[in-house]
Each structure stands twice: as structure tokens, then as C-alpha cells.
Amino acid sequence: MRHLKLKIAYDGTDYVGWQVQHNGVSIQQRLEEGWTAVTGETTRITASGRTDSGVHALAQVCSVATESQLTPETLVRALNAETPYDVAVLKVEEAPDDFHAIRDAIQKTYCYYVQYGRIQNPLRLRTCWYVPGDIDIQAMQEAAIHLTGELDFASFQTTGAERNTTIRNVSQLEIEPEPMDGFPGLKITITANGFLYNMVRNIVGTLIRVGKNSNDAQWVKWVLDQQDRQVAGQTAPAHALYLHHVV
């Protein structure tokens, strides 16, 4: 039995998320169907994280156990021939026998893209969140300082996937200008040792309130201290979120 590590990218627009579900087609389903077509095996492919419906990935990491003797290079070519155009296998490599994509993930980075201004960019409807009007990026940067470090992020967890603890260590939270085809925009990058359900999107929605001057930077610290999801900002739309990379 061989154990392999896969790195894949996908546009999540037309999928119900990573995990196989009964209410639609998932990334996992399409990848496993491709695996069966290539190797003849029916097996489970495990990803480092279950991205939600509409969320994209630039470098999702997966683990799989197989009896196939196809080389990693052959598997890349064959899987890409058997998966849809919006799912790409970037790399396949040998892994230790005990490798597990979820258990061995020690850090993940997500990026979220926002386009703002008076006019919406029609070319980015599927890939970024349009927020009308101006945004104060500096105010968002000041607010982000309060969300960096080992903290209790209970205020940013959507109910539905309870965890043993809501404490997470956010090592990076950066907001920087990101022009989009001449339209004003920004990118929010967040790295942590793990994430609660909808944590990134809830943080983004909260920071946008600061950027729109509905609340000041200190308000974000107050939200964090309340440990109450009801006091934070909205859950930002899924279609502008990308799993950037996994360590």
C-alpha cells in the first residue's frame, strides 16, 4: 500500500463544497470519480480542510492510500484528463505511511478578495465580493491588529460545527490594496494553526464594517472579548474566499 500527497486547485463556484454531499456535486466526488477512472480503485481522498460551497482553492492538500503503481507524474496527467476543467491536480508525491491531510496540517492560509468603488467589475463577479463606495483600508489594518495572536475567536464562529475549543493562533492578518483590472480592490490574507466554521468570512465581514466607518478599530477588540457571534459583522460571501496554501 502506497500513501500519496496530492496538491489540487479548483474553482468552487459550481460545487457544494469539498465534501461529498447528497444535495449536489462536490469537489471530492469529482476527484474520487477521476481516481476510479484512472486506477480502477474506489477509495476515499481526504483533504486538509472542507471548503464550503462556492469557496475556491489554489493549493488544497489531500491524502490517499492506493495499490496503484502509476508514477506521480503519470497520475497528474491521467487525473487531469479525467477531472472537470475547474478542478486541477497540480502535484502528486510519495508520502510517509502515516501521512494524513487533516491530522498533519499545522497551518493554513486563506485569501479573501474585495472589490469596491462606485462601479462593479463585471469580470470578477464570481471571484470577489463587491462592496459599493469607498473603504478605509488603514482603519481595517488598525482593527486587524486586535485579531492577531492566540485568542478566543468564539465571536467569529458560525454555529453548526462545534469544536473542543474556540482558541486559535492567528499568525498573520494583512489587508493590502489589490487593484482589479483598474477597479479599486483589497486582499485580506489570514494565516492560522486552524480555523473555526466560517471564521475567515466572519472576520472579513467584521473588518468591512470598520472599513465602511460603521465602527472603529477598537470595536473589533470589543467584539472579540464578547465571545458572542451575534455582535460581530456579517458573514462575507463564500465566492471571494480562497484556500491559498497548507503547511
Show which residues are catalytic: 52
Q: Which residues contact 152 (CB under 8 A, 6 or more apart)?
A: 166, 167, 224, 227
Helix-strand-coil split of the chain, %, nearest 5: 30, 30, 40
Rounded to the nearest 10 degrees, how much is the dihedral formed by the CA atoms of 37, 38, 41, 42?
A: -40
Run of H or E including 173: strand 167-177
Tell me if residue 200 falls in helix, strand or coil: helix
Q: Which amino acid is at 193?
A: N
Distance CA 217, CA 17 (A): 33
- Residue 133's SS3 state is strand
CA dihedral 220, 226, 230, 234 (to 10 degrees): 20
> What is residue 147's three-state secondary structure?
helix
* Closest by Cα among 213, 134, 137, 124 to 176: 137
What's the residue count for the chain? 247
